[in-house]
């Protein structure tokens, strides 16, 4: 199937079992990632599992930290600032990923708290982040978000606009690791993941932040380096 002709097959429902503790789900998800990586002849260590802890309290996060997990994702800078300083006092080696849309006026706060920023989608944010990194003396890894399904309600730059955005980012020495996407809800994700991987190769980028609770295994087989898993790990949010 050509990369520009996504399938209309509905995506499967997330595999969520609310009766299991998060630590058991973590073991299961890691095993699934390892299996998907093996199918694609990839090393399991090439894939970072980001536990999306947005809206979940510290009490839900602590068991995963105690189990050794260190990569967590938050949508909003304000929530990260309220939640993570205390957790980091106990676990200073945590790596915090901001995965939601980011306002330019929050760039300095984001740079101050995050180790990776996954939704860089416009030139004004690129400039704001570069300035903030110089001010703070920190350089979080960045992913450029692509609106892979051309959906007007979603963030991300258009595919056609990516070369200009990437040139802007490289021009100000933003530490761009790769690309990020959110496939259209309700459709088979594989063609969109394959398209993002193809675009990344064309621009000599190796990082691919793609795949969530319902499709992270597919994402791994198609090259994801970072998968963002929330409900399959923490259970359905209230």
Integer Cα distance of 23 and 68 in angstroms = 10
**Rounded to whole angstroms, what are the CA distances from 155 to 87, 125, 223?**
30, 12, 22
pLDDT in the model for residue 177: 97
Ramachandran angles phi, psi of 199, nearest 5°: -65, -40
Residue range 22-234, CATH number:
3.20.20.10
Among the listed residues 121, 127, 122, 85, the one whose alpha carbon sits nearest the alpha carbon of residue 107: 127
Whether the predicted pLDDT of 9 surpasses 90: no
Q: Are 209 and 182 in contact (CB under 8 A)?
A: no
Both tokens of 68, joined, read: 């050794």
What are the boundaries of each domain within the chain? 22-234
Whether the predicted pLDDT of 172 surpasses 50: yes
Whether the predicted pLDDT of 8 surpasses 50: no
Strand pairing category for 226-229 and 48-52: parallel
Tell me the average pLDDT across 152-166: 95
Integer Cα distance of 79 and 88 in angstroms = 14
Whether the predicted pLDDT of 235 surpasses 90: no
Other C-beta atoms closer than 10 Å to the C-beta of 93 total 7
pLDDT in the model for residue 7: 40
């Amino acid at each position: 199937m050509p990369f520009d002709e996504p399938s209309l097959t509905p995506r499967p429902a997330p595999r969520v079992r609310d009766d299991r503790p998060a630590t058991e789900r973590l073991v299961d998800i890691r095993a699934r990632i390892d299996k998907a990586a093996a199918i694609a002849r990839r090393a399991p260590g090439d894939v970072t599992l980001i536990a999306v802890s947005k809206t979940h309290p510290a009490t839900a996060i602590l068991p995963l930290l105690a189990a050794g997990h260190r990569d967590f994702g938050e949508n909003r800078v304000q929530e990260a600032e309220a939640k993570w300083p205390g957790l980091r006092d106990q676990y200073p080696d945590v790596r915090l990923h901001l995965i939601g849309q980011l306002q330019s006026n929050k760039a300095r706060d984001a740079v101050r708290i995050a180790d990776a920023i996954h939704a860089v989608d416009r030139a004004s944010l690129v400039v704001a982040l570069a300035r903030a990194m110089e001010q703070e003396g920190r350089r979080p890894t960045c992913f450029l978000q692509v609106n892979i399904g051309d959906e007007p309600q979603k963030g991300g730059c258009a595919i056609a606009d990516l070369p200009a955005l990437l040139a802007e980012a490289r021009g100000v020495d933003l530490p761009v690791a790769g690309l990020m996407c959110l496939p259209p809800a309700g459709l088979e994700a594989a063609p969109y993941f394959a398209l993002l991987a193809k675009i990344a190769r064309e621009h000599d980028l190796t990082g691919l932040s793609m795949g969530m609770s319902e499709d992270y295994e597919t994402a791994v087989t198609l090259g994801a380096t970072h998968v963002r898993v929330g409900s399959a790990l923490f259970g359905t949010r209230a």
